[in-house]
Structure 1
Amino acid sequence: MSNSPLATTDALAQLSSDLQDVVSADQLITATVELEPYSHDWWPLAAKKAQLDEHDHMPDIAVKVKAVDDVAAVLRYASKRGVPVTTRALGSSVTGQPLPSRGGILLDVTGLTGTPVIDAINHTVTVPAAVRGDDLEAYVREQGFTLGHSPQSLNRSSAGGWVATFATGQLSSRYGGIEDLVVGYTVVLADGRTVKLEARPRAAVGTDLRQIFIGSEGTLGVITEVVLKIFPVPETSIVEAFTLPSVRAGIDAIRTLAQSGLRPSLVRLYDETEARHATGRDDLGLPVLFLGNEGIDSVARAEHAAAIELIGDLGAKSLGAEPVEGWLGRRYDFSTVESYLNASGGYAETIEIAGRWSEIAAIYDALTGALAPLADEVLGHFSHIYNQGTSLYVILLGHTTDNRTAAERIEEIWKVAMTTTLANGGELSHHHGSGLARKPYIGLLDEGAASVARDLKRAFDPAGVLNPGKLFD
């Protein structure tokens, strides 16, 4: 904890004493053995560090929040005293957002739960920030609705975390990312003020302030409640898999779909390597596209037929519904990555970036080529499409001699991936945010945008206590 401004016994004792005037003593965690888990999330590098018994990002103290008032009280205290505060909910980040970089207070907001409130007329649900995604989806499903938001981490991530990290889900081509799905939210600022930001359904009185905190990763405030759109459970859902002659033909196919005006619910293009994993078939040797359409029966069927006609002109050949149905049954399964990480010397990494249609094929070639020497397998897929471009998701699986070497390999993977992406005109991240993994490369982005981001940070957090060391801080 040498990075902490409180790394003396007297300072820590004073912090603990002070916080007992702010929250109940039973809400404080001070024992080292209980603080160590807070220095790790689902970032593969953090997993290897845990196996090495290294806890580089441990807080000095943790506060288990029981109510929004606790959040406000802790932030007021921290801002006055200049004590760093890092917010953490379910810890499902894969890039290190909730890991303290300067010790201080870890604000554990997993206590911000409760029963969601559905507005069946206006099609929204209001939910405490730490409610888990799968619990929320199950709740709205009971009422005949769906969130339309299905990240792979659905069963280990929270509504507030989705907003804070700019999340998106597997059905984004129909429903959009979290920026499209969030109606409003409540955020506690560094000085303890609680602010509700919403639009009913759209507001043109000045800047849309809701956008400021989306993707802010806890550096500008703490999100405590979220209002999300909900949608009627689709009457019909149709899925089908197709082979394509090449990755470039596949990119042309998904670009055609994105720019056609159709709204498929599922679009996932796997390169020939990942296609083996996605379909469970080793005999294809070709990229595979998963396509889905849903909604009112007649519309879903018409859109699916139109989509098939479009991609058929580009060489798509049907494999039927079975490969997609199999994937749907295991789409939240993270066990392959976990098994590699749990093995001594094993490593796995999942890195997503984005690029315009005019550059994404070259980015794919450069990125997979540069990463190939660093893993036993490099898998690639494109899973979120837009008029202007798409995401590219690269998964690396491998084994080295020991956990130390595996940790070093993961760091090397990030360096190669980020520098290659920037050199070829791509975006550093599409939906996992920045955290600690991308922090070293943010300085390579446009300085004009960075200066505006720093101005916002100074305005909302003048003492610089909220999740320091992240984003443009």
Structure 2
Amino acid sequence: MAISRIILDSVPAERLSDSADCVAAHSYDAWPIAVKWRQQGKQPCKPDLVAHPHSTQEVAALLRECNENGNAVTPWGLGSSVVGSPLTEAGGVVIDLSRMDRIIALDEDNLLVTVQAGKRGDLLEAELNERGYTLNHSPQSLDRSTVGGWVATRATGQLSSLYGGIEDQLIALEVVLPDGRIVQTKQTPRAAIGLDTKEVFLGSEGTFGIVTQVTTRIFPLKSYRRLETVTFDTVSDGIKAMRAMTRNGLKPFIVRFYDVDEARHAMKDPSFGQCVMFLGFEGIEAVVEAEYAAVMDLCRAHGGKAIGPAGIEGWLARRYDFSAVENILARPGGVAETIEISDFWSSIEGTYEALKTALAPLADEVLCHFSHVYAQGSSLYVILIGQAEDAAAAEARIRRIWEVAMRICLERGAATSHHHGVGLARKDFVAADQGDAMVVNQLIKSALDPNNIMNPGKLGYRPRTPAETRN
């Protein structure tokens, strides 16, 4: 669509840009495929215009005009998605929320914070820390992602084994529908009054509307912690120990278990020859010590050996550092990808083995860890590192990695995503993953967004037709 055909009068002109630099900055995120596009000079996901609203009312006015004009709309936080969630395949308008970054209210009595959706995670965490509180939501992208982005992708963080994902922290939200209506859900600790409306927008990746404000739980900072590093001889032993913890209701705030190949990286020791588990406990000292003792008993019962806190302390100091993968991707032929899935305890070991075996021919290293545990199962995070001839060959290799990994997950009944979301990387696999539920999802999409302007084609929904694009 030619930029001259997009007419937006709802925000000041200085908040709209079609400059080559601004458009290019919103044509790529952190998805490795997008990195390879940039290296090849390809720009397949190019918006026509970028808007930088400062308020919910401006977002609403933008959506009203885009809906009336038939312009596709794609929300943007900080562009840190690793699966292509904020990239448009339909041109149109990217609505960048990064200037909507204020804390609206801090409710210390009820332990809540209300914040605009464009607030960067580490800045919010720092401001809360100054008041003695924490989010206890800490994705590796904390310093490059927004609160709205967490909700839109149903994100989780490194402390989820105790505190849960964003769906467990979310109390209420404000969202702008495609026709410009503003909806605010009610703040309550819990309610049994029909549909939980905020669930409609959790994980919707901007396909139903734009989240503009979020109310989430906060927690007092804990004064006591106990950290431990435990080795295991086999992946099977570590899985059994984690399952035993969850069956007994034990919830360390950190549970991370690495296979031998990734343990060498996690321990920063190329000679390290065992699987390793990082465990962290926090809270009231007496409770922490009791939980630590119970978990150590279970680990020992499955062959675990405590070797002290140094391993996990080192990881905590560098846990937001993503530079190892970024440095590999920066080379034109560099291949690096991260794929996170989840499965039940009864089948997660088989899924691990299937992925490890099938992906080995496609990378020099296939590294795996389990980092979010539940009563019924666990996540599995796979990191692939390799080298191809050039950026085009690297792009083709990464696409093949996705095809193989998703096929195995679908064959085994595993969830094809645990916390990164869908974006462009997984969109072609959503219908197979969701099965009959896809009918319901599409009906909701069609009802809320009949003109199909919101991030069209994402989450497995149908792409735009020429008739839906009006000039």
What's the counterpart of residue 3 of structure 1? none
Q: Determine if contact 2:351/2:412 at 8 Å carries over to the other structure.
A: yes
Cα RMSD between the aligned structures?
1.0
Write the distance in 2 (CA, Å) between the matches of 1:116 and 1:358: 45
Q: Determine if contact 1:453/1:472 at 8 Å carries over to the other structure.
A: no
Q: Report the TM-score when normalising by structure 2.
A: 0.96
Q: Give the counterpart letter for 1:460 in structure 2.
A: L
Write the distance in 1 (CA, Å) between the matches of 2:133 and 2:159: 15
Write the distance in 1 (CA, Å) between the matches of 2:413 and 2:5: 49
CA deviations over 1:348-401 (Å, ceiling 9, x no partner): 100000001111000000001110111111100000001111000000011111
Instruction: Tell me by how many angstroms 1:47 deviates.
Output: 0.6
Matched, 1:174 2:162: yes
What's the counterpart of residue 244 of structure 1? 232
Of residues 54, 64, 68, the one that matches 1:66 is 54
Q: Report the TM-score when normalising by structure 1.
A: 0.96
Map 1:382-401; keep pairs closer than 5 Å.
Answer: 382-401=370-389
What's the counterpart of residue 469 of structure 2? none
Write the distance in 2 (CA, Å) between the matches of 1:445 and 1:281: 38
What's the counterpart of residue 376 of structure 1? 364
CA deviations over 1:50-69 (Å, ceiling 9, x no partner): 11111100101111112111
Q: Determine if contact 1:350/1:394 at 8 Å carries over to the other structure.
A: yes
Matched, 1:444 2:432: yes
Write the distance in 2 (CA, Å) between the matches of 1:398 and 1:217: 30
What's the counterpart of residue 467 of structure 2? none
Instruction: Tell me by how many angstroms 1:29 deviates.
Output: 1.0
Matched, 1:343 2:296: no
Q: Determine if contact 2:429/2:460 at 8 Å carries over to the other structure.
A: no
What's the counterpart of residue 140 of structure 2? 152
Instruction: Tell me by how many angstroms 1:185 deviates.
Output: 0.9
Write the distance in 1 (CA, Å) between the matches of 2:160 and 2:115: 21
CA deviations over 1:47-104 (Å, ceiling 9, x no partner): 1111111110010111111211111011111111221000101111000010001101
Matched, 1:312 2:300: yes
Instruction: Tell me by how many angstroms 1:198 deviates.
Output: 3.2
Map 1:1-400; keep pairs closer than 5 Å.
Answer: 6=1, 8=2, 12-15=3-6, 18-19=7-8, 21-400=9-388
Instruction: Tell me by how many angstroms 1:116 deviates.
Output: 4.8
CA separation of 1:446 and 1:97: change in aligned 2, threshold 3 A: closer
Write the distance in 1 (CA, Å) between the matches of 2:193 and 2:253: 33
> May I ask how many residue pairs the two structures share in their alignment?
461
Write the distance in 2 (CA, Å) between the matches of 1:242 and 1:265: 15
Write the distance in 1 (CA, Å) between the matches of 2:187 and 2:263: 42
| Runs ≥4 residues deviating over 3 A | none
Identity over aligned residues, as a percent?
48
Q: Give the counterpart letter for 1:243 in structure 2.
A: T
Write the distance in 2 (CA, Å) between the matches of 1:189 and 1:110: 19
Q: Give the counterpart letter for 1:287 in structure 2.
A: C
Write the distance in 2 (CA, Å) between the matches of 1:312 and 1:72: 57
Write the distance in 2 (CA, Å) between the matches of 1:71 and 1:86: 12
Write the distance in 1 (CA, Å) between the matches of 2:284 and 2:451: 52
| Residue aligned with 2:429, SS | helix
Write the distance in 2 (CA, Å) between the matches of 1:69 and 1:271: 49
Q: Give the counterpart letter for 1:334 in structure 2.
A: F
| Residue aligned with 1:337, SS | helix
Instruction: Tell me by how many angstroms 1:114 deviates.
Output: 1.5
Q: Determine if contact 2:103/2:113 at 8 Å carries over to the other structure.
A: no
Instruction: Tell me by how many angstroms 1:32 deviates.
Output: 2.6
Q: Determine if contact 2:415/2:433 at 8 Å carries over to the other structure.
A: no
Map 1:393-472; keep pairs closer than 5 Å.
Answer: 393-472=381-460
Q: Determine if contact 1:61/1:104 at 8 Å carries over to the other structure.
A: yes
Q: Determine if contact 1:359/1:425 at 8 Å carries over to the other structure.
A: no
Write the distance in 2 (CA, Å) between the matches of 1:281 and 1:253: 24
Q: Determine if contact 2:36/2:332 at 8 Å carries over to the other structure.
A: no
Write the distance in 1 (CA, Å) between the matches of 2:91 and 2:225: 48
Q: Runs of 5+ in structure 2 lacking a partner?
A: 462-471
